[in-house]
Amino acid sequence: MPRLLIATTNSGKLREYAAIFADLPIDLYTLSDLHIKDNVEETGATFAENARIKAEYYARRSGMPTLADDSGLEVAALGGEPGVYSARYAGPEATDAERNAFLLRKLEGVPFHARLARFVCVIALALPSGLIEFVEGVLPGVIEFEPKGHFGFGYDPIFYVLDEDATLAELPPERKNQISHRAHAARAAREVLQRWLAEGKLDL
């Protein structure tokens, strides 16, 4: 059966991808499954560049078709920050709570209607031959004035989704995983994988 490496050590991410790819005739592997412990430095200036760096590196390293993603939060009033620096915006050792507090301080005095933001996820699908395709998922929202909810992680407690009338951290994980930026990108990646299967590109 064709194989696909999901280039992550995040078990939550793997579960999300496994659910969306469940009916595809593909065996999924993680970096841990292949005993790959290399860390790739994400030096790109965009989500797509970082996704490309990881996908191409691990496709060459493993000799397998590889999926890698990069994602983060973009806040319009901050000129698109924190963007690719979302995970280290308040410093490399900051906790989720500290990152949220740091972002909220940056938006002090900004009214609700001007706190527009979006979560972005870019997925790169790479073959060892060098072929690569990108898909993107976006979830629009507004930055709340204070954290709300206990689900999720990262910026979820301050990311308010208008259609849900709740922050991501107030939504059950099952619902978040239906509407999230990563879910949208993964469904688009699924279409690429279906096409690659039909074209025999995954039969390595």
Residues with active-site annotation = 70
Rounded to 5 degrees, φ, ψ at 123 are -110, 135
**Three-state DSSP state, 116:** strand
**Three-state DSSP state, 195:** helix
What does DSSP assign to residue 115?
-
CA 178 to chain centre: 14
| Token pair 């280039």: residue | 7
- What is the rounded CA–CA span in Å between residue 37 and residue 88? 21
Q: Which two tokens stand for residue 86?
A: 């979302």
Q: Which two tokens stand for residue 33?
A: 């499954």
What does DSSP assign to residue 9?
-
Q: Crossing angle, helix 181-198 and helix 11-20, to 10 degrees?
A: 50
- What is the rounded CA–CA span in Å between residue 178 and residue 116? 21
